[in-house]
Amino acid sequence: MKTKLLALFLLAGSSLFAGPRVFFGFGVGVGPGYGGYYVAAPPPSPVVSYAPAPYVAAPGYTWIGGYWYPSGPRWYWRGGYWGRRPYAGAYWVAPRYYGHRYYPGYWRR
């Protein structure tokens, strides 16, 4: 009887910490083929840089040039880097700013 009662308390006590987890998500339509999103001020002029030699001398890597991206009211610079193509024949479409809208970069066939 004591072992059954102990097992019952153990199960009841452990279930207190295993509460249900509920997550909600929503999309705002940012990405390729969408209208971008509003940004009040244009980005600063691009930073002049060069493409260093790749870390890995293997096919399937491409140089992704640096770009400005908005984060709240400020712009932040993302330096260029060597990135692996997600699939054969893919190429990088750089992010752009046009008509007070920011369009993020994406891979395209």
* 69 lies in some domain: yes
Alpha helix stretches (DSSP H) within 1-109: 2-17
Mean pLDDT by 10 residues, the chain (109 residues): 76 61 50 62 76 68 88 88 88 89 90
* 19 lies in some domain: no
* 106 lies in some domain: yes
* 27 lies in some domain: no
* 65 lies in some domain: yes
What DSSP assignment string belongs to 18-35? -------------STTS-
* 74 lies in some domain: yes
Range of the domain at 96: 34-50+58-109
| Tally of structural domains, the chain | 1
Give the pLDDT of residue 31: 47
Residues 45, 75: contact at Cβ < 8 Å? no
